[in-house]
Amino acid sequence: MSQDTQEGNSLLQKVTEAAEEFVEKLTGTEDDTEQNENERKMTMEERKAKMEELRQKMHSSALANRKSVIEESAKAKITARDAARLERQRKLVEILRQKADAEERGEDVERQKNWEWTIEENEEWEKKKARKARRANFEFNNDADAARRRYKKDLDLIKPDLLTYNKQKELALGLLPGTLVKAGNSSSAVNEFDPKASTSLQIVPTSEQQRIAAENLYRDANSLLYADNKPSEDAIDRVVSKINRDIDKKSKFSRKRHNEDEGDITYINERNRVFNRKIARYYDKYTAEIRASFERGTAL
């Protein structure tokens, strides 16, 4: 009897535990359902916020695109001449502002501007102005004068290689190596050398190499050597860069307006060109046949 009672109690305890587990599962399912509903609500709110953010980004990007299109169209309408005029106006405004600020402080504008330059730069600028004044054209000239002026300008860009020249001169005069090159590549080494000052530095040019070097360095009308000099890579690069710079400068100097349509030149200046274009806009449709007849030579 006692065994049956114990078995009944254990069975009842198992049923009770199973019921408690079932209730816990039900309550857990309800909690999960409520949590999922809350998450679903938060997800919808986040979606709305994200949609609003995307709309704002789209609106800002549309405004930025419109602004860039307006700027590009404005730049396309501005010609090179207008851009140069605006740049001159900007510089003029900046100069006037500097003058006004200097007057308020009681300072001299020119004196303050000269402080920005060094003595070497000032001397170089004075030399450039004097050279430009000497080369100023006040008379009628021809192609020979233009070529000479161009040659003088090209000479300003030439930088002689004094180091190589001093080495060639040492070999031609029969001097010891380093006699003229000891001062580096400056021109003072060439000017300060005195062959009568010290005879121990000079060697009589009796060898064939010295004789050939002397003939190469000091050539005259009786010399038979011609076109035997091989330039270095640096010299070739300098010539190529000079040619490219001249081509670039010539292309920029052209007076041709690249933004204008090519056609018959019926104007004498910019103002007349604009006037002719306005007239042609209204009357070309009436005068096209007459102008064509004049060009063919069949006008009555």
Pairwise CA distance, residues 234 & 284, whole Å? 59
204: CB partners within 8 A, 6+ apart:
174
The predicted structure's pLDDT at residue 113: 78
What is the residue whose two structure tokens read 């200046």?
269
Pairwise CA distance, residues 264 & 294, whole Å? 15
Pairwise CA distance, residues 261 & 264, whole Å? 10
The two structure tokens encoding residue 145: 């004068």
- Cβ 23 vs Cβ 31: under 8 Å: no
Instruction: Pick the closest to residue 203 from 176, 182, 168, 165 (CA basis).
Output: 176
Mean pLDDT of the chain: 76
- Cβ 170 vs Cβ 179: under 8 Å: yes
Q: Where are the domains of the chain?
A: 50-109, 117-158
pLDDT at 235 over 70: yes
128-150 pLDDT, tens digit each: 888 888 777 666 677 888 888 88
The predicted structure's pLDDT at residue 189: 44
Residues written for the chain: 300
The predicted structure's pLDDT at residue 25: 67
Instruction: Pick the closest to residue 172 from 209, 213, 203 (CA basis).
Output: 213
Pairwise CA distance, residues 242 & 236, whole Å? 10
Per residue in 46-70, is it b (16+ CB within 10 Å) or e — as a string? eeeeeeeeeeeeeeeeeeeeeeeee
- Three-state SS letters, 53-84: HHHHHHHHHHHHHHHHHHHHHHHHHCCHHHHH
Least confident segment among 14-28, 72-86, 213-227: 14-28
pLDDT at 276 over 80: yes
Pairwise CA distance, residues 118 & 124, whole Å? 10
Share of the chain above pLDDT 90, in %: 2
- Cβ 135 vs Cβ 152: under 8 Å: yes
Torsion, Cα 120 126 128 131, to 10 degrees, reads -140
pTM over 0.75: no
The predicted structure's pLDDT at residue 45: 79
Helix (H) or strand (E) holding 105: helix 80-105
Cα dihedral sign for 2, 3, 6, 8?
A: negative
The two structure tokens encoding residue 92: 């003029």
Specify which residues 202 forms β-bridges with. 175
- Cβ 180 vs Cβ 166: under 8 Å: yes
Instruction: Pick the closest to residue 164 from 184, 135, 194, 137 (CA basis).
Output: 184
Least confident segment among 80-89, 136-145, 181-190, 249-258: 181-190
The two structure tokens encoding residue 207: 């060898």
